[in-house]
Chains A and B, each alone.
Chain A
Amino acid sequence: MSGTARVRSVETMTTLAKTTVQAAVRAEALTKTYGAGNAAVRPLQNLTVSFPAGRFTAVMGPSGSGKSTLMHVLAGLDTPDGGDITLATDRGPISLTGLTEKQLTRVRRDSIGFIFQAYNLIPAMTAEENIVLPSSLGGRAQVDKTFFRHVVDRLGLTDRLHHRPFELSGGQQQRVAVARALVARPSVVFADEPTGNLDQASGAEVLDLLRTAVDEFGQTVIMVTHDAAAAAVADSTVLLADGRVVQTREEPSAEELAAAMLHAGSVVGAPAAGQATDGGVS
């Protein structure tokens, strides 16, 4: 496992090609509908997308574009009405479609890391307990102590391990959440508006950490965001509109992305104003 990560990491840094990497998550022809008739909302309309392993991919889109629903479905928190999702894990590819709720829970525990907008730490647990939580829930073997130390040290949490969340600053809490997502070495880390609740400095720090996770630990990261500046930190950005992929850009600048967002907004005919600053949960 650690071997694989190192190989990926080396690969990522040496080749820099970032083209023909194996897909960590692949979604094909996803559909999802809420409600019926005229009131029906279709956040996913025959959506097909692929996220390369060992890369940092951002998912952007205006409000209602389906980016949050896509993340829920890809992360096994919700199930699509149609289509297929394949997750490449260290135990081979897993198809999420057709799994029971219990099996999906296992997949979340063993193969997926989460970083939420609202930090989402367990208040009754210390930072260390929060970090090893997925492993302590069972399934995976003991956390790799060396890797744990490495991640904690890199995130500057060594002195904070025995603190409770309410004793930590917002930035520190989010770092703990990042550590939790990384320490279990999941196949993919999903970040849902990770900078949404942070000031600019802390937000930049968290983005830097996600960048580090990809570059140093060879982690696959998929980040849903409405913030073009945040998305610009990613290797590539998938732009969604109206439940479909509009375009995928490699290493775009923040300005390009902001422009593309406005364009995406006008494509679906949604009001242009406020889209770029939209709160983001679609």
Chain B
Amino acid sequence: MIGSPVLRTNLRSGGKRLWAAGAAVVISVAFVVTALILLGSFNRTMEAQAVADAEGADLVVNAEALTWAQNAAEEAGTSETSSGDRPDQQLADAISELDAVAEAEALSFVFLQGESSGVDSMLLAGDLPETRTMDVAEGSLPEQDDQILLVTDFAEANNLGVGDTMQVATERFNAESGNVEEGSAELTVSGLASGYHRTVSGYVSSEGLESLDADQTPTSLRVAMTGEDHGDTQAQEELQQQIADVVAAMIDNGELPTDTGSDDDAAQIFTQPDGSLVVAGVDIRTQQQIIDAWVADLTGQSTALLSIGLGFGAIAVFVASLVISNTFQVLVASRSRTMALLRAVGATAGQLRRATVAEGALLGVGGGVLGVLLGWSAAVGIATVAQRFWLESFSSAQLSVLAVVTGLLLGVAVTVLAAVMPALKAGRTSPMEALRPVEISAGPKRIPWVRTVLGVLLAAGGLGGVLLSALIHSRCWVPQVPSSDSLGFCSWAGSWFHVPLPSWGSSLPECRV
């Protein structure tokens, strides 16, 4: 098909007009490719963070269900356990008894309202986990009850350093009076912890957490195994079963609260699709399972991100298809005499149709390749900016097979589809038109400078908007949030809002070819 004289003619005479359509393809493909590559970076970042957070624990037991069950039981007045006992603590003690277990710790956090530097900031402070090796960037672990190890990101966002003190307000719900009692405390920053911390922004010792006059919210139990079993998947799965049995036995004996009350099946052990075990709402996961679960949890958010990205991508693609279709219609119209001549001297209608579609396909391949390269470059740039201004551990942009294949397929699909109608029109050209006495047209046409300059300016403006918003948003929004993930997404969405602009900017002036 490349050798077809019709296609060759088309490509030579298409020239300048094809550049405009090509640019539309490049930009829309680049847009989608950037979105896909950044999504990959995002997911790798999430995965790395989940791995870092799960490190040191062979199994993680979700204790939230126990707390809800106990609260429900207390409200219903059917509590068999005294309210002073924490069920997750009891479970941790029971698990510790198992042979393979080196340590089982029940973690919880308290909610604190900070008042540092005149900026209100929320602070979730948790138990210092003994099963996780803290990467202390500066200072030391909290040894006194009033010391706190802050997560570096939080400390930087609030201008706190080692040795600084922070006034925090605490709240405790008094079940008897039904009132919330407010208190306060002064904490000294003992050190800064680098790396990713999933739930909390700071750590205090268990004693320190007790001494704070605040409600503790149990989160999970981290279980570390002994000796050679530590980190061994098979051993983890065996222990997982044992722990499930322990939970089931304790529920049967009434040692743990359940939501289901006196239901006989309350202590039944279920296996979930990912291999994790559930007893009465208590999830028991091995290290890999908990990593996968966290990643899936976070990816749910990035799926929303993807929808936004692809939504704008779809708009860019739609606009591109209009531009391309318009370009091809104009091309076919301007070539009607040449087409008629070709028909007269022996080109079949099918040859003219195929040549027009092939012209589109070539444009799609070329635009797709350039679009993938441009999208890749943009993703690398954005990832670099993200690492610098938002999240140091943000994973670098890597070109993925998915992004390349999607980009190329999209480029070809859009151009071929946009070329179909004009191609049908080209095929309908009557050879008789070649006989009309009309002067041959002059040489190449003049380049429409004004339009070109305008298009470039608009494109540059749009691109500038992208970078500006990426910079501004990543700087201003994120630091105010303790656990920066969710709003961090917004800054990305914010920057992506601007991305369609270059495509509109460069394509709109071309609509009136």
Q: A108 at the A/B interface (Cβ < 8 Å)?
A: yes
Are B435 and A192 touching (Cβ within 8 A)? Answer: yes
Are A77 and B346 touching (Cβ within 8 A)? Answer: no
Q: Which of B5-13, B24-32, B160-168, B448-456 contacts A (4 or more CB under 8 A)?
A: B5-13
Q: Can you name the residue of chain A whose Cβ is closest to the Cβ of B9?
A: A124
Are A77 and B344 touching (Cβ within 8 A)? Answer: yes
Are A114 and B345 touching (Cβ within 8 A)? Answer: yes
Are B349 and A118 touching (Cβ within 8 A)? Answer: no
CB contact between B9 and one of A119, A122, A180, A196 (< 8 Å): that residue: A122
Q: A84 at the A/B interface (Cβ < 8 Å)?
A: no
Chain B binding surface SS class: helix
**A196–B439 CA distance with the chains assembled, in angstroms:** 12
B223 contacts across to A, CB distance below 8 A:
none
Are A119 and B440 touching (Cβ within 8 A)? Answer: yes
CB contact between B345 and one of A78, A102, A134, A192 (< 8 Å): that residue: A134
Q: Can you name the residue of chain B whose Cβ is closest to the Cβ of A139?
A: B346
Choose among B8, B346, B350, B434 the residue with the greatest number of A CB atoms under 10 Å from its CB.
B346
CB contact between A122 and one of B341, B431, B436, B437 (< 8 Å): that residue: B341
Q: Can you name the residue of chain B whose Cβ is closest to the Cβ of A136?
A: B5
CB contact between A173 and one of B341, B348, B440, B441 (< 8 Å): that residue: B440
Q: A148 at the A/B interface (Cβ < 8 Å)?
A: no
Closest approach, in angstroms, between the C-beta of B95 and any C-beta of chain A?
80
Q: B343 at the A/B interface (Cβ < 8 Å)?
A: yes
A119 contacts across to B, CB distance below 8 A:
440
Number of interface residues of B (CB under 8 A): 31
Q: B288 at the A/B interface (Cβ < 8 Å)?
A: no
**A117–B431 CA distance with the chains assembled, in angstroms:** 14
Are B346 and A120 touching (Cβ within 8 A)? Answer: no
Within 8 A of B (CB), among A95-121: 101-102, 105-106, 108-110, 114, 116-121
Are B5 and A133 touching (Cβ within 8 A)? Answer: yes
**A281–B438 CA distance with the chains assembled, in angstroms:** 13
Are A118 and B437 touching (Cβ within 8 A)? Answer: yes
| Known A-B contacts A72-B432, A105-B346; A123 and B5 likewise in contact (beta carbons under 8 Å) | no
Are B346 and A197 touching (Cβ within 8 A)? Answer: no
**A109–B9 CA distance with the chains assembled, in angstroms:** 18
Closest approach, in angstroms, between the C-beta of A73 and any C-beta of chain B?
11
Are A118 and B351 touching (Cβ within 8 A)? Answer: no
Q: A216 at the A/B interface (Cβ < 8 Å)?
A: no
Q: B342 at the A/B interface (Cβ < 8 Å)?
A: yes
A68 contacts across to B, CB distance below 8 A:
435
CB contact between B437 and one of A101, A109, A196 (< 8 Å): that residue: A196
A197 contacts across to B, CB distance below 8 A:
437, 439
CB contact between B440 and one of A102, A136, A165, A193 (< 8 Å): that residue: A165
Are A121 and B437 touching (Cβ within 8 A)? Answer: no
Q: B84 at the A/B interface (Cβ < 8 Å)?
A: no
Closest approach, in angstroms, between the C-beta of B358 and any C-beta of chain A?
15
Number of interface residues of A (CB under 8 A): 39
Are B12 and A114 touching (Cβ within 8 A)? Answer: no
B349 contacts across to A, CB distance below 8 A:
101-102, 105
A102 contacts across to B, CB distance below 8 A:
348-350
**A116–B343 CA distance with the chains assembled, in angstroms:** 14
Are A117 and B441 touching (Cβ within 8 A)? Answer: no
| Known A-B contacts A105-B346, A106-B346; A166 and B432 likewise in contact (beta carbons under 8 Å) | no
Are B443 and A120 touching (Cβ within 8 A)? Answer: no
Choose among B12, B350, B431, B436 the residue with the greatest number of A CB atoms under 10 Å from its CB.
B431
Q: Can you name the residue of chain A whose Cβ is closest to the Cβ of B5?
A: A136
Choose among A122, A134, A139, A193 the residue with the greatest number of B CB atoms under 10 Å from its CB.
A122
Q: Contact string, B150-167, partner A, CB cutoff 8 A, digits 1/0? A: 000000000000000000
CB contact between A108 and one of B9, B345, B435, B437 (< 8 Å): that residue: B345
Are B439 and A118 touching (Cβ within 8 A)? Answer: yes
Are A125 and B5 touching (Cβ within 8 A)? Answer: yes
Q: A137 at the A/B interface (Cβ < 8 Å)?
A: yes
New contact pairs (9) apart from A102-B348, A139-B346, CB-CB < 8 Å: A77-B344, A77-B431, A105-B346, A109-B346, A119-B440, A122-B341, A134-B345, A173-B440, A180-B345
28 A-B pairs, CB-CB below 8 angstroms?
A72-B435, A77-B431, A78-B432, A105-B347, A108-B346, A108-B431, A110-B346, A116-B341, A118-B439, A118-B440, A120-B440, A121-B341, A122-B338, A122-B341, A123-B338, A124-B10, A124-B338, A125-B5, A125-B8, A129-B8, A133-B345, A136-B5, A137-B342, A137-B351, A165-B440, A166-B440, A166-B442, A281-B437
